[in-house]
Amino acid sequence: MTWESWFKVSLPSLPILFSVFGVWLYWGENPLPVLAPSIAFWGVTISFYLFTQVYKPNSRAPFFLAIVTASLWAFASITSHNLALFLRAGSHSGFIDVLKNTDFWYSYVLAGVAFALSLWQFLVHEPGIMEHVRRQQREALT
């Protein structure tokens, strides 16, 4: 994999950095409700990149990957909203109480699945995408 490939994957992580630096360090608020949708959205952007770059005749796999990751992002966002309501209510006494909350687990498991599924498919398909780009560049030069 080239550095360009890793740049394509790492660029959509900027909302995660904003969540950590902006929400937590600057505003001093709890970033847990904001991180899960950001992680899931990172997976969505990777799957949409694959949807636009991967062509498989008679296969709708990239299309379904985009739909699945977008759905996981939506569900992670909803459960993160519920987690934010729980945190805002102040009925927790520490991180252990947050870990006992089912909304925390739903949001982070769904976000992790959305991201891991997209990253796995990226690692599978990116060598073929780069080979196609190199072939097009060689054809353009000749």
Q: How many domains is the chain partitioned into structurally? A: 1
74 and 51 in contact (C-beta within 8 Å)?
A: no
Q: Is residue 76 pLDDT above 90, yes or no?
A: yes
Residue-level pLDDT at 12: 86
43 and 119 in contact (C-beta within 8 Å)?
A: yes
Render pLDDT for 12-66 as a digit per residue (tens, 0 to 9). Answer: 888 888 888 888 888 888 888 889 999 999 999 999 988 888 877 787 888 899 9
Share the mean pLDDT of the chain. 88
Which residues 6+ apart lie within 8 Å of 74 measured at CB?
none
Q: Identify the domain containing residue 103 by its residue range.
A: 3-141
Mean predicted confidence (pLDDT) in 77-90: 91
48 and 120 in contact (C-beta within 8 Å)?
A: no
Instruction: In whole angstroms, give the CA distance from residue 39 to residue 15.
Output: 8
Residue-level pLDDT at 73: 95
Instruction: In whole angstroms, give the CA distance from residue 77 to residue 93.
Output: 24
Residue-level pLDDT at 36: 92
Which residues 6+ apart lie within 8 Å of 141 measured at CB?
none
Choose between 57 and 109: higher pLDDT.
109
CA distances from 87 to 24, 92, 95, 101, 104 (A): 14, 7, 10, 10, 10
Q: Could you tell me the pTM of the whole model? A: 0.85
